[in-house]
Structure 1
Amino acid sequence: MADTLNETGSTNGIGTANTTTPTPNTAIPTGSSSGEAPKKSVTEAVKESAEKVKAAALKATENVDWKTHSDQLKDQATRTARSAADVAKEKTGTAMQSLSKLISDTASTVDAKLGPQYGDYARYAAEAVSGAAKSLDAKDVDQLMGDARDFVRKSPAVAIGAAAVVGYVLMRLAKGSDSSEDA
């Protein structure tokens, strides 16, 4: 059986390690080349190692071009947001066209049940939704964002009210989907 080293670096001669656990004030060898090894406490050795790691980390971060990294992240986020906005615009346009067709298809039923005046209202609503969908499809995301900014500048109260209504509807939709999953 081979001798093993104990905490001070010497062997215990019986083939097993010394089971004494070092304490913060236990002396450990520092590896000095002189005949007599100066002793340091575990706490001092850990502090010294931590300082070395800290210095290495600072040196490594000094050579990083943070502006380039932040510009790359900004560009990536912009591309991702633009892509998501394009997909959302396309889906919204398609949904609005479908809604317009649905309203237009039900206009004859409204004529029969409620009268031609209400059927005309339904056809007018279908045309308005269809026109909005065409307008949405004709513009790119940047134009839509510009239009939204202009609207908010011209009518901030209406914009805040619309945002509150949309937030409320989204909250109700989210709550509704949570309660249906629990059932």
Structure 2
Amino acid sequence: MVDPTISAGNGTESAKNHFSKAVEEAKAGAQAFAGELSSECKTRSGEAKDKANAFAADAKVKAAGYAEEGKAKASQAIVGVSKLIDDNVALIDEKVGIKYGDYARNASKSLAGAGAKLDEKSLEDIGEDAKTFVRNSPWQALGIAAATGFVLARLFRGK
């Protein structure tokens, strides 16, 4: 029931005041909530960024390890091919001729030297050498990439 002591004009004014106070309290509550939400978002965002940075650093270390391992295996493979050629040079001399045996010996020495150079160089040096080669001979680099892609496709294609 309505309080008879409040006049009609006074009641409307009182209701407006209560409504205004309620709106102000709602605004203050919303601002406080927004501040808490913003703070929580910043915290979670920072945590996610830290996790991503840790993951990226770990991936970089693992990639460098795999690259070093791959470089070592490539060097070993090149030296292995050189030794295989050396082991068969006498057969080449006998079957095809000394001239071709000399070619095989030279190829074996070149491969052994390339394997040793590869083993001695750092990954950064190899990367710089590759960039320089591509800058100086882009068409040759493209041809090598295409030939390598063709060979790899033939190797890994199902029969």
Query: Per chain length, whose mean CA-contact separation is higher, i.e. which structure has more relative contact order (CA < 8 Å, sep 6+)?
Result: 2
1:171 corresponds in structure 2 to 153
TM-score, normalised to structure 1's length?
0.61
Q: For residues 142 and 88 of structure 1, what CA distance do their matches in structure 2 show?
A: 14
Same amino acid, percent of matched pairs: 35
The C-alpha deviation readout for 1:53-100, integer Å capped at 9, x for no partner, is xxx998754322254333323212211111110110111111111100
Q: Normalized per residue, which structure has more helix?
A: 2
Deviation at 1:158, TM superposition (A): 1.1
Give the structure 2 partner of residue 89 of structure 1.
71
How many pairs were matched up?
Answer: 122
Q: Which string of whole-angstrom CA distances, capped at 9 and with x for unpartnered residues, describes residues 5-60 of structure 1?
A: xxxxxxxxxxxxxxxxxxxxxxxxxxxxxxxxxxxxxxxxxxxxxxxxxxx99875
Unaligned 5+ segments in structure 1 are: 1-55
Q: State the TM-score, normalized to the length of structure 2.
A: 0.69
Q: Which amino acid aligns with 2:42?
A: E
- Which structure is larger by alpha-carbon Rg, 1 or 2? 2
Work out the CA distance in 1 between the residues paired with 2:64 and 2:90. 40
Give the alignment of 1:8-157 within 5 angstroms: 60-63=40-43, 64-65=45-46, 66-157=48-139
Counterpart-to-counterpart distance in 1, 2:151 and 2:108: 22
Matched with 2:6 is: none
Unmatched segments (≥5 aa) in structure 2: 1-35
